[in-house]
Amino acid sequence: MRDKNSTPPVLTHVAADGSPTMVDVSGKPATQREASAACLVVFPAGVAATLQAADLHTAKGPVIATAIVAGTMAVKKTHELIPFCHPLPIDGCRFDIAWDDAIRLRITCSVRTVHRTGVEMEALTGATIAALTVYDMCKALSHEIVIGPAMLMSKSGGKHTIVPP
């Protein structure tokens, strides 16, 4: 990932007196904002083979469909989970879930809005909650499932644009 705009980093959620604060975005223009984040779910080889043979269905139901629903709900509630996130109108939310290899499932969440602030946290929240849902749906098969890393893949529409390598 690379940041196209190089400005010195600033902690925007810290007031001059050091207290935590929500960023005032009232002076910013509303623009199209997009972000994508990914999170991996790594399975033991035998569990991955079992899940692939079952088309990612477990006794609890369809793993991918359930993860997409949970991730979408999380995107819409991000501001309720993370203290200084602004409530945003979500114009679009899409999940791509596919095997990277024999044991790694990649969950990518892409979010879009027209607003004064970005949707990075919504994309990260969606991807990670979808991953946690996969874990929950599959934990009866193994507690050795690993979640992560979670990472921002791209963002656009604000002061900074981040594009994949």
Could you tell me which residues come within 8 angstroms of residue 9 by beta carbon, excluding any fewer than 6 positions away?
none
Alpha-carbon span 119 to 52, nearest angstrom: 32
Our answer to whether residue 100 is catalytic in this structure is: no
From the list 3, 91, 100, 136, the catalytic residue is: 136
Is residue 15 classed exposed, middle or buried when 0-12, 13-18 and 19+ CB atoms within 10 A define those classes?
exposed
- Identify which of 27, 39, 36, 40 has the alpha carbon closest to the alpha carbon of residue 101: 40
Task: Tell me the catalytic residues.
Answer: 136
